[in-house]
């Protein structure tokens, strides 16, 4: 039974890399008929940001990843928030102390600094608390049992460190990277537990993954350096480690470095799923949702940042992603974020929406321009505009002429297409249109009949008429636009344009 977890820390808004990690976990779980679990890793109280957990939940819900177990939907492995599991961490840390695999360390911050400075002076800058140096420090390995007990009884601050063995090979198989081998002498005696009663990330993470029976740990590459330590911890507890898969980094569009939280608004695209306002600095960051992205487009785009289906198919519904996804098709190399491609995905999903749904989305914006606009008319407008739009707002912004007559006329088109004979042609068209029924088909027929009769080409009439009606040189089907505007408005616009342009 596959069980995977997404384990964010509520230290700020969820970066889109985090959403990608959640997505791959979700897809892997669903593909394997397993469970997708959300666990909130909130043991680092210094970095706790109010509102971040709510943000994470909202972002995951918007993206469409429903958890099988989470703080909001507890299953039998709860609680799902680490701050509510404190007692467990204490018990398990004690277990490591009792079996001699962890120890108390009483060194103060000053003492540790002093050791680092000394090492630096001796040209050994990377001082570590490890199997060699621990023998010169103040800990339960160098103090007597009585001294240790006394210090603890006195309330001296301490941490509990893992007793990392010297010169042992630590190896594990990563599902994406293959075998990873590290010598334990390169790993320091990491702090597992602090005297404030809080575990560190490493301890809590391993205890929870074990107790929650997690089978696969799928997480970002930034955790790869921690994995050997985690393997050592599993070994110390005598537990079987889960399988690991470390996902590739998401890189900046130019491939230069990791896409960071700061990049988004600077480079002109969101890096967060939803808008976020920092509660302390009030700094605002934009989100995909508010920018007008469909969650399906956002997810489809994310799915390709590190994975590919091995075919040329690019558009995938969530069901199709679940069907196609596998860790074997996740690459090791960093995946470049592509802002244009991201917009392209949204365009595809916008085109797939039906016109009524789009009209609902932009109804309020449209009403602000014209209070009398009906949903039906707006649906027709959306139907016409959607081929060229990337975002729902474009439907309105690019179709300003549906709401008011043009007051200016595209200069280039005027120069090229508004000829001496154009006004009289426009008057003819006006007469023909006046006699026709105002469906797009009837208008087109009348228009074509006129061209044939006069033996003139479309290029002599179409652009001029479009100028009169929209003020622009390009746009969707002119006959549909006229039909939506109606007879009175269309004829009036021809008159008004003739007055202004002649």
Nearest one of 196, 203, 187 to 93, comparing CA atoms: 203
Q: Does 234 bind ligand GLU (CB under 6 A)?
A: no
Q: Does 43 bind ligand GLU (CB under 6 A)?
A: no
Out of 235, 258, 261, 487, which one is annotated catalytic?
Answer: 261
Name which position in 48, 77, 223, 234 contacts ligand GLU (CB under 6 A).
223
# of chain residues touching ligand GLU (CB under 6 A): 7
Q: Does 202 bind ligand GLU (CB under 6 A)?
A: no
Rounded to the nearest 10 degrees, how much is the dihedral formed by the CA atoms of 73, 74, 79, 83?
A: 0
Q: Does 37 bind ligand GLU (CB under 6 A)?
A: no
Name which position in 3, 4, 7, 300 contacts ligand GLU (CB under 6 A).
7
Contact 245, 220 (CB under 8 A): no
Kindly state the smallest distance separating residue 177's Cβ from ligand GLU, in Å: 16
Rounded to the nearest 10 degrees, how much is the dihedral formed by the CA atoms of 12, 342, 300, 209?
A: -30
Nearer to ligand GLU, 7 or 362 (CB): 7
- In whole angstroms, what is the distance from residue 470 CA to residue 474 CA? 9
Nearer to ligand GLU, 92 or 418 (CB): 92
Name which position in 4, 9, 25, 350 contacts ligand GLU (CB under 6 A).
9
Residues 297-326 that bind ligand GLU (CB under 6 A): none
Nearer to ligand GLU, 205 or 380 (CB): 205
Q: Is 382 helix (H, G, I), strand (E, B) or coil?
A: helix
Buried b (16+ CB within 10 A) or exposed e, 198-213: bbbbbbbbbbbbbebe
Kindly state the smallest distance separating residue 9's Cβ from ligand GLU, in Å: 4
Q: Does 200 bind ligand GLU (CB under 6 A)?
A: no
- In whole angstroms, what is the distance from residue 285 CA to residue 260 CA? 12
Name which position in 63, 151, 200, 205 contacts ligand GLU (CB under 6 A).
205
Nearer to ligand GLU, 219 or 289 (CB): 219
Kindly state the smallest distance separating residue 404's Cβ from ligand GLU, in Å: 51
Q: If DSSP states are collapsed to H, E and C, what string results for 41-74?
A: CCCCHHHCCCCHHHHHHHHHHHHCCCCCEECCEC
Name which position in 41, 188, 189, 208 contacts ligand GLU (CB under 6 A).
41
Contact 328, 308 (CB under 8 A): no
Residues 151-180 that bind ligand GLU (CB under 6 A): none
Nearest one of 263, 257, 227, 264 to 334, comparing CA atoms: 257
Name which position in 219, 246, 289, 480 contacts ligand GLU (CB under 6 A).
219
- β-strand pairing of 159-162 with 102-105: antiparallel
Any catalytic annotation for residue 365? Answer: no
Buried b (16+ CB within 10 A) or exposed e, 218-251: bbbbebbebbbbbbbbbebbeeebbbbbbbbbbb
Kindly state the smallest distance separating residue 7's Cβ from ligand GLU, in Å: 4
Kindly state the smallest distance separating residue 412's Cβ from ligand GLU, in Å: 53
Of the candidate spans 3-11, 297-305, 354-362, 389-397, the one that interacts with ligand GLU by CB under 6 A turns out to be: 3-11
Give CA separation, 492 vs 3, 114, 340, 411, 488, in Å. Answer: 67, 86, 40, 21, 6
Nearer to ligand GLU, 7 or 425 (CB): 7
Of the candidate spans 2-10, 48-56, 170-178, 294-302, the one that interacts with ligand GLU by CB under 6 A turns out to be: 2-10
Which token pair is 469? 């009606």
Whether the link from the prior residue into 79 is cis, omega within 30° of 0, is yes
Instruction: Indicate which residues carry an active-site annotation.
Output: 261
Binding site for ligand GLU (CB under 6 A): 7-9, 41, 205, 219, 223
């Amino acid at each position: 039974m596959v069980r995977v977890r997404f384990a964010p820390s509520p230290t700020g808004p969820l970066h889109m890399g985090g959403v990608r990690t959640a997505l791959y976990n979700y897809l892997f779980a669903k593909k394997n008929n397993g469970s997708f679990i959300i666990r909130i890793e909130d043991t680092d109280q210094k970095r706790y940001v109010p509102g971040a957990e709510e943000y994470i939940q909202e972002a995951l819900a918007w993206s469409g990843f429903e958890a099988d177990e989470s703080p909001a939907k507890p299953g039998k492995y709860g609680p799902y928030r680490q701050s509510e599991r404190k007692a467990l961490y204490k018990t398990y840390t004690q277990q490591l102390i009792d079996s001699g695999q962890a120890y108390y360390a009483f060194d103060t911050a000053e003492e540790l600094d002093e050791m680092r400075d000394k090492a630096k002076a001796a040209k050994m800058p990377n001082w570590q608390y490890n199997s060699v140096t621990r023998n010169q420090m103040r800990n339960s390995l160098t103090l007597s049992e009585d001294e240790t007990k006394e210090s603890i009884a006195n309330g001296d601050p301490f941490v509990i460190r893992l007793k990392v063995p010297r010169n042992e090979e630590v190896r594990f198989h990563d599902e994406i990277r293959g075998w990873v081998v590290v010598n334990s002498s390169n790993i320091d005696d990491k702090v597992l537990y602090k005297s404030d009663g809080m575990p560190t990330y490493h301890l809590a993470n391993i205890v929870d993954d074990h107790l929650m029976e997690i089978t696969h740990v799928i997480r970002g590459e930034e955790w790869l350096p921690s994995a050997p330590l985690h393997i050592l911890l599993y070994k110390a507890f005598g537990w079987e480690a889960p399988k690991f898969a470390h996902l590739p980094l998401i890189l900046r569009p130019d491939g230069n470095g990791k896409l960071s939280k700061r990049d988004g608004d600077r480079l002109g695209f969101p890096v967060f799923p939803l808008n976020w306002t920092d509660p302390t600095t009030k700094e605002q960051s934009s989100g995909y949702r508010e920018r007008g992205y469909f969650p399906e487009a956002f997810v489809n785009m994310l799915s390709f940042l590190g994975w590919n289906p091995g075919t040329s198919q690019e558009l995938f519904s969530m069901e199709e992603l679940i069907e196609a996804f596998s860790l074997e098709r996740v690459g090791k190399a960093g995946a470049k974020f592509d802002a244009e491609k991201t917009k392209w995905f949204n365009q595809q999903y916008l085109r797939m929406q039906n016109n009524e749904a789009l009209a609902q989305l932009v109804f309020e914006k449209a009403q602000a321009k014209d209070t009398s606009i009906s949903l039906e008319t707006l649906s027709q407008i959306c139907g016409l505009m959607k081929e060229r739009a990337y975002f729902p707002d474009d439907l309105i912004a690019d179709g300003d002429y549906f709401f008011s007559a043009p007051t200016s006329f595209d200069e280039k088109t005027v120069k090229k297409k508004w000829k001496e004979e154009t006004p009289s042609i426009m008057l003819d068209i006006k007469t023909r249109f006046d006699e026709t029924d105002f469906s797009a088909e009837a208008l087109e027929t009348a228009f074509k009949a006129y061209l044939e009769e006069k033996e003139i080409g479309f290029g002599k009439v179409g652009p001029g008429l479009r100028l009169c009606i929209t003020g622009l040189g390009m746009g969707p089907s002119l006959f549909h636009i006229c039909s939506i505007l109606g007879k009175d408005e269309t004829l009036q616009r021809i008159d008004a344009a003739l007055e202004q342009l002649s």
